[in-house]
Amino acid sequence: MSNEIETIKDPGLPAHVHRRADTDPKAAKKAERQVAILFLLSALGTVTLIGSYIFIPSDLFIFFPILGNTNAQQLFLGLGMAASLFFIGMGAIHWAKTLMPDEEVIIQRHEFRSPDEDREAFVATAKAGAAAAGLGRRSLIKRSLGLSLGLAGLSPLILLRDLGPLPKDELSKTSWKAGTRLITDPGDRPIRAEDLEVGAVAQTLPELPAGKERVLSDIGKDAVLLIRLRPQDFNLDAERLSWTHEGIIAFSKICSHMGCAVALYEQQTKHLLCPCHQSTFDVTRAAKVIFGPAARPLPQLAITVDSEGYLVAKQPFTEPVGPSFWERSS
């Protein structure tokens, strides 16, 4: 008995229908233009993406139907990227469906490794297919595809800009200086020691020089918690004790773990608690970490009072506030 598989004489396939572009040169030209337009729309999408990144301020908000108030840069980055990818895909599909070779071929089953002559034939067929796809002939498609792919490849490069500039000492500095008044947040009122009862907590910010606007990113570094204890409750060394005033102690409100606002104070235990990952700081021992993932105490701000009796910083923070960063030395 022979191992040869007999060819099925009539597998029941419908007759092959040729596309208009296969038989009508005008239809082929029209399809070529349609493909080129799709690739050009993709290029336009990429230009929109790059242009939005460079020219639209990152803090500009606009009204957009359905979405409401939306960040303009994010919106146009998204629209640009969507158009870039959508139209390049549409162009490729339309090209394949209308202009690329459309032949039905039947291949017989055979052992997995093709005979050498078949492999050579495959290479020859692939080359012929590439030639038949018309990249050489259809220069309009070739150029528009080149532009579209080139720009699409370029767009991730501009995102490298976000790696810079280096923050230099920005992460180590806050607005607190010697003599800066502590003011309530909200309210912007300077604070006297007698405004705080024992057990009270207040969130404060540094008073800014007249005419200076408070920047949102500065609030993330400047926020300070004031807590009043009885002076005998402290368990501090002489230097840290001298940073307090009549039982009032001040700490950065920014958690040394990952930068959340340390917002919960347990009056009975005198513990500050970070709600994000439950780091717990002992106020009586200069915010020493007694539980949780934070690696360092909350930085303490040295305070005193000015000639009018208002609480002021004695000096800037002596260490960076907030979470760790690469260049941090302590």
The strand pairing partners of 272, in sequence order, are 265, 281
Residue 264 makes contact with ligand FES by CB under 6 A = no
Element (H, E) at 215: none
Using an 8 Å Cβ cutoff, are 218 and 180 in contact?
no
Residue 226 makes contact with ligand FES by CB under 6 A = no
Using an 8 Å Cβ cutoff, are 55 and 111 in contact?
no
The strand pairing partners of 251, in sequence order, are 225, 300
Q: Which of 138, 228, 245, 257 binds ligand FES (CB under 6 A)?
A: 257
Rounded CA separation 56/70 (Å): 13
Which range of residues in 84-92, 94-102, 229-237, 250-258 is near ligand FES by CB under 6 A? Answer: 250-258
Q: Are strands 201-206 and 288-291 parallel, antiparallel or unpaired?
A: unpaired
Residue 254 makes contact with ligand FES by CB under 6 A = no
Residue 272 makes contact with ligand FES by CB under 6 A = no
Tokens of 251: 């700490």
Smallest separation, CB 279 to ligand FES (Å): 4
Which range of residues in 98-106, 150-158, 188-196, 253-261 is near ligand FES by CB under 6 A? Answer: 253-261
Residue 277 makes contact with ligand FES by CB under 6 A = yes
Beta strands, E only, the chain: 61-64, 68-71, 182-184, 201-206, 224-228, 248-252, 264-266, 271-273, 280-282, 288-291, 300-301, 303-305, 311-313
Q: Which of 265, 292, 305, 319 binds ligand FES (CB under 6 A)?
A: 292
Total residues in contact with ligand FES, by rule CB under 6 A? 11
Q: Where are the alpha helices (DSSP H) in 17-138?
A: 20-23, 25-55, 72-98, 116-132
Residue 294 makes contact with ligand FES by CB under 6 A = yes
Smallest separation, CB 253 to ligand FES (Å): 11
Q: Which of 73, 148, 204, 279 binds ligand FES (CB under 6 A)?
A: 279
Smallest separation, CB 272 to ligand FES (Å): 10
Q: Which residues bind ligand FES (CB under 6 A)?
A: 255, 257-258, 260, 274, 276-277, 279, 292-294
